[in-house]
A = this chain, B = another copy of it.
Amino acid sequence: MEWKISETGRPAPGDIERRGNKLLISNGYIGYRGTLEEFNRDQKTATIVSGLYDRVAHLWREPVNLPNGGFVQIGYAGELLHVLTSKVIDHSQSLDLQHAVHERQTTFETSDGTRITIRSRRFASLARRNLLCMEFSVSADRACEIDICTGIEGNVWDINGPHLTALAAREQKGILSVSAVTHENAIQIAVSEAVVLPSGRNRVYGQGAQLSAASAFREFRVALVKDGFTFHKIVAHAFGLDCEDPLATSRQLCRQAAGVDFETLLAEHAALWRQRWENCDIQIEGDPAAQQALRFSMYHLLAIVPAHTARASIPARGMSGQMYKGAIFWDTEIFMLPFFTHAFPRLARNLLLYRYHTLDGARRKAREYGYRGAFYAWESQDSGDDACTLFNVTDVFTHRPIRTYFRDKQVHISADIAYAFWQYFTLTGDASIWIEGGAEVIFECARFYLAYIYYNPDRRRYEILDVTGPDEYHERVHNNAFTNRMVAHTFEVCLKVAALLRQHSRGFYDGLMEALCFESDLAAIAQIAPRVFQPDSAVPGTVIPQFDGYFTLENVSLPTLLGRKLHPTEYFGGGSGLATTTQIIKQADVVLMLSLFSERYPTETKSANWEYYESRTEHGSSLSTCSYALIAAQLGKVDWAYQYFMKTATIDLAGEAKQYVGELYIGGTHPAGNGGAWMSAVFGLCGIHCVDLCIAINPHLPAHWSKVTLPIICQGQMLRITLTHEAVTVLPVVPLEAQLSVSVEGSVHPLDPTAETTFPYHAWQGAENGLENACRAEIASTGFDRVHGEPCES
């Protein structure tokens, strides 16, 4: 169970979408939903390619769903065997998390009582990123003939399509292909399928292609004997951004792979996945459910990360479809990136550099709104231009679009990116990130806020006005505590990065300053940075107002507010939403700030704010629960932390997240929730925080977790940490190249560069406070040019 996710029984209507999300396979280049081979657009089959977007007319721009090469349909004596319409004796579908293989087994009973069983295994090859590889078997309880139709279904699910034009189906030397061009930018795409039939006792009749405008199928009849019949499919996907001739490329990739044994293809794929798990698997003893949920969360993050490029990132719904426009939000930087930074720094680097490659889009957006610098897209796609529309939700009462301010006012996005760059740098020490684009990103983000900020002459402070913070139910507020803190932090990071570069890379620094004309802006930032208003109180234990006037809003309970609903999916935010005029918030906002800037706030403040906001949070976003888990753990509220950890870790396992907002479908996977699960476990329950050259460890293990073992990479050094209720053990996986130390219960101990060290501790009950600070040092002191081991995949 700990490595396997299974679903059994004929899927009910709601199950189809849920399983499609949950059992997704992907290699970060192509994603294939966990649907069944005989499914079509009605069951939301989807093959999503990373970084390929298209727009039709005024509709939303969204990922292209490629023709479905995974299609197989079995027939028996004129009867099509389909899990939704045939008599099903037994059905199961599962996902092998360890090797990223989807498996399926179904036994049908035909009208004449014949029991026919089909089995399939499929994976999106991590070794050959264009390929979906499938093994398909059919057997029966008596000798019979089976009709098999396999091929490429071109009539695919689209939310705002159709995105493909000039669809053409072809057959060449046994390889079926469907090619097309995208609507907006005429990018060529092609999907090809090769079938490898067994040499054996089965007789195969009449193999031939059936080509329609959009689809290419091959049909053949098989005489089944006792062992059944097994064949393999290779589906290759190619598109014009990555190669010159997608049709030829996809055919060639098919042909090449068809010459390789399926088990070999699977082995090379599985080996890479096992290597990934070496870097990140967390073993929890005593809690199989948590073990499964956490692995499931990491699986999804690993599956969809675009390991092959620094020009794509992870969309908010991963590779599970066209939902949320396939767009990259702050989800990646704030909720997913920590997992990668601590386990796969090079992948984290890729994700960050995507923001450098889309910097021009952010500059265009800033200019569009009359600002300088980089105002990153709220919904970023390939170019960095904002895919977010001004009307993102439809009113359920009038069916009119609702004006939302996600695009215009969630200005914290640029600061989120700056925060992520800085986190990456302080955790890895990788200063090359600044040279290779990071500094330019940071400077332009800071410049944006310099243009956005206002000075209040009466209060003698700088303010950030008219923004939407993380809590999207309250749009266009002033001095959102989270945003103001993030902006001040961006200014601080800007000044630190400038200082580092000036000291260590003078030539680059001078060139960049000149290229960006940044000298006077930098001086202004230095002057303004310490004067950005923070609505924090100097008195510990004070509840921080989420924004100006928050406490004047109606102080209603969440159940009361929910009781006012007139429609099950009515939107709570916007100009007329139920929550808008109340203190009920969509998701962690102040509490997220407390978790991101944990070291700046005393326990009393965390406690007061957690208590206040927890009861006022709807958790209408998958980004919400992990912040409450993290702060709960720090406060010693282990039960709460565990509950919120499990909530975020099971978000796609249980599949109970919102499917609709207003009339908008927002289903799909929740990678930010997955990243939140990792943070809740590692930062929260395990209490592990890497701070420069020190690992602070303050475990808050649930009572039933007898032992936790996990690898973590700090400053390029991989450590294996084992926690029990009595001791912390740290083992360098490879000999340490830098002197790291460990802080347990506030005492700092240097690590032995090669040997395991154990630190006993007394199961710690109270709230954590300032323990991280014990080993915090100015980043400048960690040196700038350290060379790092890079243990993760290339």
- Cβ of A699 to closest chain B Cβ, rounded Å: 44
Majority secondary structure, A binding face: loop
- Cβ of A568 to closest chain B Cβ, rounded Å: 14
**B454 touching A456 by the CB < 8 A rule?**
yes
A403 to B580, CA, bound (A): 9
A448-487 toward B: CB 8 Å interface, digit per residue (1/0)?
0011011111100001011000000000101000000000
Tell me the count of chain A residues lying within 8 A, CB to CB, of chain B. Answer: 33
**A576 touching B402 by the CB < 8 A rule?**
yes
- Cβ of A468 to closest chain B Cβ, rounded Å: 13
Q: Does A400 count as interface, using CB distance less than 8 angstroms?
A: yes
Within 8 A of B (CB), among A403-451: 403, 450-451
Within 8 A of B (CB), among A624-659: none
A400 to B370, CA, bound (A): 36
Within 8 A of B (CB), among A571-585: 574-576, 580-581
For A581, the chain B residues whose CB sits under 8 A away are: 390-391, 403
For A400, the chain B residues whose CB sits under 8 A away are: 576
Most buried by B among A400, A465, A576, A581: A576
For A576, the chain B residues whose CB sits under 8 A away are: 395, 398, 400, 402-403, 574-576
Q: Does A528 count as interface, using CB distance less than 8 angstroms?
A: yes
**A457 touching B397 by the CB < 8 A rule?**
no
Within 8 A of B (CB), among A555-591: 566, 574-576, 580-581
Q: Does A524 count as interface, using CB distance less than 8 angstroms?
A: yes
For A707, the chain B residues whose CB sits under 8 A away are: none
**B455 touching A450 by the CB < 8 A rule?**
no
**A524 touching B457 by the CB < 8 A rule?**
yes
Q: Does A22 count as interface, using CB distance less than 8 angstroms?
A: no
Most buried by B among A400, A463, A478, A575: A575
Across the interface, name the chain B residue whose C-beta is closest to A369.
B549
A528 to B457, CA, bound (A): 10
A478 to B451, CA, bound (A): 15
For A476, the chain B residues whose CB sits under 8 A away are: 476
Assess A454 versus B450: contact at CB under 8 Å? Given A395-B576, A566-B398, A574-B576: no
- Cβ of A477 to closest chain B Cβ, rounded Å: 10
For A395, the chain B residues whose CB sits under 8 A away are: 576
For A398, the chain B residues whose CB sits under 8 A away are: 397, 566, 576
A747 to B671, CA, bound (A): 78
**A465 touching B454 by the CB < 8 A rule?**
yes
- Cβ of A755 to closest chain B Cβ, rounded Å: 56
Across the interface, name the chain B residue whose C-beta is closest to A454.
B454
Across the interface, name the chain B residue whose C-beta is closest to A452.
B458
For A524, the chain B residues whose CB sits under 8 A away are: 457
Across the interface, name the chain B residue whose C-beta is closest to A373.
B458
- Cβ of A478 to closest chain B Cβ, rounded Å: 7
Across the interface, name the chain B residue whose C-beta is closest to A462.
B457
Contact of A455 among B451, B457, B466, B566 (CB under 8 A): B457
A358-388 toward B: CB 8 Å interface, digit per residue (1/0)?
0000000000001110000000000000000
For A402, the chain B residues whose CB sits under 8 A away are: 576
Contact of A372 among B455, B458, B465 (CB under 8 A): B458
- Cβ of A571 to closest chain B Cβ, rounded Å: 10
Across the interface, name the chain B residue whose C-beta is closest to A476.
B476
- Cβ of A597 to closest chain B Cβ, rounded Å: 25
For A391, the chain B residues whose CB sits under 8 A away are: 581
A109 to B16, CA, bound (A): 79
- Cβ of A364 to closest chain B Cβ, rounded Å: 15
For A397, the chain B residues whose CB sits under 8 A away are: 397-398
Across the interface, name the chain B residue whose C-beta is closest to A408.
B549
**B454 touching A463 by the CB < 8 A rule?**
yes
**A458 touching B463 by the CB < 8 A rule?**
no
- Cβ of A555 to closest chain B Cβ, rounded Å: 14
Contact of A465 among B390, B451, B465, B528 (CB under 8 A): B465
For A456, the chain B residues whose CB sits under 8 A away are: 454-455
Across the interface, name the chain B residue whose C-beta is closest to A458.
B451
A403 to B456, CA, bound (A): 27
A679 to B2, CA, bound (A): 82
A340 to B131, CA, bound (A): 84
For A463, the chain B residues whose CB sits under 8 A away are: 454
A755 to B566, CA, bound (A): 75
A391 to B554, CA, bound (A): 12
- Cβ of A456 to closest chain B Cβ, rounded Å: 6
For A455, the chain B residues whose CB sits under 8 A away are: 454-457
For A390, the chain B residues whose CB sits under 8 A away are: 581
- Cβ of A573 to closest chain B Cβ, rounded Å: 10
A574 to B402, CA, bound (A): 12
A240 to B104, CA, bound (A): 87
- Cβ of A19 to closest chain B Cβ, rounded Å: 36
For A466, the chain B residues whose CB sits under 8 A away are: 465-466, 478
- Cβ of A481 to closest chain B Cβ, rounded Å: 16
**B566 touching A575 by the CB < 8 A rule?**
no
For A403, the chain B residues whose CB sits under 8 A away are: 575-576, 580-581
Contact of A575 among B370, B371, B450, B575 (CB under 8 A): B575
- Cβ of A528 to closest chain B Cβ, rounded Å: 7
For A370, the chain B residues whose CB sits under 8 A away are: 548
A457 to B548, CA, bound (A): 21
A536 to B635, CA, bound (A): 55
A581 to B402, CA, bound (A): 10
For A580, the chain B residues whose CB sits under 8 A away are: 403, 575
Across the interface, name the chain B residue whose C-beta is closest to A372.
B458
A71 to B66, CA, bound (A): 81
- Cβ of A506 to closest chain B Cβ, rounded Å: 28
For A371, the chain B residues whose CB sits under 8 A away are: 458
- Cβ of A372 to closest chain B Cβ, rounded Å: 7
For the A-B complex with A455-B457, A457-B528 known, give 20 more contacts whose Cβ atoms are closer than 8 Å.
A370-B548, A390-B581, A391-B581, A397-B398, A398-B566, A403-B575, A403-B581, A450-B458, A451-B458, A453-B457, A454-B454, A454-B455, A454-B463, A454-B465, A455-B455, A465-B465, A465-B466, A466-B478, A476-B476, A575-B575
Residues of A within 8 A of B (CB): 370-372, 390-391, 395, 397-398, 400, 402-403, 450-451, 453-458, 463, 465-466, 476, 478, 524, 528, 548, 566, 574-576, 580-581
Could you give 8 example pairs across A and B, Cβ below 8 Å? A397-B398, A398-B576, A403-B575, A454-B456, A454-B457, A454-B463, A455-B455, A476-B476
